């Protein structure tokens, strides 16, 4: 069997680390990259190389930002009385695109999953509760995945947050069962956000 040149083979192996990319797709992508203009190849390489240096995970909310300050924690142009809880930093951008929400965010460090050994103690609830109390949050919106893990986490969070005397709502109808927020289209997400209801 003839093997690919080593540098090409290494790129294929790296591309296969991406979600949903199998061997065939990775090979197709890698061969496509060979035909890219030199500037694009260099830009791609330098952007990937700079990801860890240029992007910061906010220690307060868990969002990803570039520069000195977290855009989503800036209460001068965001409503500090609302807090939306999501499963991943990527979900924040999906919700921002609906233009229906202008409050604060909180990215969960994980979702409850007994199979993966993730229990409530992995959710760093103290940090979340401190934020809710510090900002005197009026409403917490649960926008976690509509999966078994997301539902279990939502139920747990609802109980914990309501014990602080804070109103808890959840994205409404239209969220497909078993889906992660990442695969929900913008229209569906907008409707789910507008029709949010008490859990």
- Residue 147: other Cβ atoms inside 10 A: 17
Tokens read off for 142: 């649960």
Q: Tell me how far, at minimum, the Cβ of 60 lies from Zn ion, in Å.
A: 4
* 2/59 with CB nearer Zn ion: 59
Q: Tell me how far, at minimum, the Cβ of 46 lies from Zn ion, in Å.
A: 26
Residue 199 and residue 170 in contact, taking contact as beta carbons nearer than 8 Å: yes
Q: Give the pairing of strands 64-66 and 55-57.
A: antiparallel
Q: Tell me how far, at minimum, the Cβ of 65 lies from Zn ion, in Å.
A: 7
Q: Tell me how far, at minimum, the Cβ of 189 lies from Zn ion, in Å.
A: 21
Q: Which residues bind Zn ion (CB under 5 A)?
A: 58, 60-61, 63, 70, 72-73
* 73/118 with CB nearer Zn ion: 73
Strand, coil or helix: 83: strand
* 58/152 with CB nearer Zn ion: 58
Strand, coil or helix: 71: helix
- Residue 12: other Cβ atoms inside 10 A: 19
Give CA separation, 177 vs 38, 145, 147, 152, 180, in Å: 44, 9, 7, 13, 9
Q: Tell me how far, at minimum, the Cβ of 71 lies from Zn ion, in Å.
A: 8
């Amino acid at each position: 069997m003839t093997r690919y040149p080593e540098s090409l083979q290494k790129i294929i192996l790296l591309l296969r680390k991406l979600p949903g990319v199998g061997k065939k797709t990775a090979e197709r992508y890698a061969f496509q990259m060979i035909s890219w203009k030199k500037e694009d190849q260099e830009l791609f390489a330098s952007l990937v190389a700079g990801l860890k240096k240029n992007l910061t995970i906010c220690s307060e909310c868990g969002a990803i930002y570039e520069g000195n300050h977290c855009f989503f924690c800036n209460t001068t142009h965001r409503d500090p009385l609302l807090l939306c809880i999501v499963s991943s930093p990527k979900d924040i951008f999906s919700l921002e695109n609906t233009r229906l929400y202008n409050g604060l965010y909180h990215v969960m460090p994980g979702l409850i999953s007994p199979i993966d050994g993730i229990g409530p103690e992995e959710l760093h609830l103290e940090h979340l509760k401190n934020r809710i109390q510090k900002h005197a949050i009026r409403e917490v919106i649960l926008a976690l995945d509509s999966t078994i893990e997301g539902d279990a986490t939502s139920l747990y969070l609802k109980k914990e947050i309501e014990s602080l005397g804070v109103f808890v709502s959840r994205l409404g109808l239209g969220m497909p069962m078993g889906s992660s927020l990442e695969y929900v289209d913008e229209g569906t997400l907008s409707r789910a956000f507008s029709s949010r209801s008490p859990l």
